[in-house]
Amino acid sequence: MDQIANLVIDLGIDAAEFKNEIPRIKNLLNGAASDAERSSARMQRFMERQTQAARQTTQAASSAATAASVHAQTVEKNAQAHERMAREVEKTRQRMEALSQKMREEQAQAMALAEAQDKAAAAFYRQIDSVKQASAGLQELQRIQQQIRQARNSGGIGQQDYL
């Protein structure tokens, strides 16, 4: 029970730590919900048996009826306490669901951002490839110019050949 109460306080932890705690919290909540259901059924059966015992006791003696009434009040208080606990468990479940929804939305946003980043990276890589190709073409032009200069200097071609 203390662990469930602590859960409400600890919801402010960061998402990564919370994600690691989700299975443990889920087990705690599932266990508490299961215990509450079993306890409620036991309490219901117990209340039915006590009511029958109270009727028999009332017929036997009025003092025993008073004791059974006190006991029934205690049982009712316990049932109310279990109902309060069940309501708290439901509120916690709802908060967990809201947090889970928020995490799903944040994950979708993160995926969209990652996709946009991937597209931007792909565009940059295409630009880099284009620059590399342009650089290779420039180097080829420079090599051809060097050959032309050598041919001109050796007399293989003249200035008028450029025109």
- The per-residue pLDDT for range 113-149, each reduced to its tens digit, is 989 888 888 888 888 788 777 777 778 888 888 888 8
Q: Which domain, by its residues, includes 76?
A: 2-119
For residue 85, being part of any structural domain is answered with yes
For residue 18, being part of any structural domain is answered with yes
For residue 68, being part of any structural domain is answered with yes
For residue 86, being part of any structural domain is answered with yes
Query: Please, what's the largest Cα pairwise distance for the chain?
Result: 139
Look at the pTM and tell me if it is higher than 0.85: no
Q: What is the rounded CA–CA span in Å between residue 92 and residue 25? A: 10
For residue 34, being part of any structural domain is answered with yes
For residue 84, being part of any structural domain is answered with yes
For residue 146, being part of any structural domain is answered with no
**CA nearest 152: which of 140, 143, 161, 163?**
161
For residue 149, being part of any structural domain is answered with no
Total domain count, the chain: 1
Altogether, the residues listed in the chain come to a count of: 163
